[in-house]
Amino acid sequence: MLLDDELGETHYASSPDDDRMVVSTPDVAAFDVHHMASILCLQYDDEILVTGSSDATAIVYSIKNGYRPLRRLEHHSAAVLDLVFDDAHIVTCSKDTTICVWDRATLTLVRQLRGHAGPVNAVQMRGNTVVSCSGDFLVKLWNLDTGKTVREFAGHTKGLACSQFSEDGRYIASAGNDKMIRVWDAHTGACVHEMRAAHDNLVRSLHIDSVSGRLVSGSYDTDIKVWDMASGRQLLDFPRWHASWVLSAKSDYRRIVSTGQAPKILVMDFGAGVDGVEMLESSGGGQGDALPSRDSGFF
C-alpha cells in the first residue's frame, strides 16, 4: 500500500500484512529563494544555474549542492532579459538599457556597462568581449576588462532582438524588427552581408554553426531559414514549420532544434540540398532525401 502525507512530501509503503513499512522523501529541488515575477532567461553548466527575471534580479544556484541558492544578483532597475556566463564572469542585460558584469567566484558586481539607449535584449560572450543588441537599433562590442565599447555596428532600421558570435569570434550576426539579417566583421566593423526581407516578421533567433558555415534564423512569421555564411545566400526555407512564433532555433552540422510559442519542440534534419551534410537514411533503407514529416519531429 502506498500513502502520501497531506503535503505530498513523504511517501509511506507497507507490505500487504502491514508487517513492514518504508518511509521515503522524494529528491525534489525546492528553491528557498525564488523570483517574484516571470523568469525570462536561464543558463547552466555542471556547477551553477543562473536565472533572470522580470523582477529585475538574477539568482545563482549551486547545482552540486542540491540547487542551493548562492546569491540574488541585484543592480538592474528593470527586467533581466538575457544572461550569459563563462568560468570568470556572469553577464546580465536588462530593459533598463544597461549590462551588468559580475564576478563568478564572488558573485559581486564588477561593473555596469552603459551606452545603449534602449532595452538590451541579448548578450553573448567570446573570451573577454561581449556583444549586445538593443531596441536602439544598435549592436555593440564591449571589452570586459575595461568596460569600454570596442565597436558599434549601425545599419538596422528598427529594434534588435538577437545577435550571435561565430565560434571564432570573427563574425557577428544580428536581426530584429526590421526583418533583415546583417553579418558583421567583428574586427573591422564592416557589414559583410545584408539579407534584406529575410523574413516577413520580427527575426527572433539566430544561430551560427561554424563547422558547416551555416546561419539559422527563426522568426515570428513561423518560418525557419538556413543561410550560407560565406555568401549570404539562402540555402533552405521551412515555411510555416511552427504553428506560431519561432522563439529559438539551434543547430549542429545536420539538425535544427527549434521551439515556438506553441508548447512543442521540433527536431529536423536539414541535410537535404546542403553539400557536405550527411543525410539520415530512411527506415526503409532509401537515401532519405526528403525531410521527415512535421509530426515525426515533435516531442
Q: In three state form, how does the secondary structure of 32-60 look?
A: CCCCCCCEEEEEECCCEEEEEECCCEEEE
Q: What is the pLDDT of residues 25-64, one digit of tens each?
A: 545 555 667 899 999 999 999 999 999 999 999 999 999 9
**What's the order of all strands across the beta sheet hosting 214-219?**
203-209, 214-219, 224-228, 234-238
Q: CA nearest 166: which of 213, 234, 228, 134?
A: 213
Q: Return the CATH number of the domain spanning residue range 32-129.
A: 2.40.10.480
pLDDT for position 29: 57
Residue 5 has pLDDT above 60, yes or no: no
Cα(242)–Cα(238) distance, integer angstroms: 9
Sign of the torsion formed by the C-alpha atoms of 186, 191, 193 and 196: positive
Q: What is the pLDDT of residues 269-290, one digit of tens each?
A: 755 555 554 443 332 333 333 3
**Is it true that 32-129 and 155-299 share their CATH fold?**
no
Q: How confident is the model at residue 252 (pLDDT cuts 50, 70, 90)?
A: confident
Average pLDDT estimate for 63-84: 97
Output the pTM of the full model: 0.78
Residue 8 has pLDDT above 60, yes or no: no
Q: How confident is the model at residue 243 (pLDDT cuts 50, 70, 90)?
A: confident
pLDDT for position 233: 96
155-299 belongs to CATH 3.40.640.10: no
On whether the CB atoms of residues 209 and 216 are closer than 8 A, the answer is: yes
Domain extent listing, the chain: 1-30, 32-129, 155-299
DSSP state of 296: G
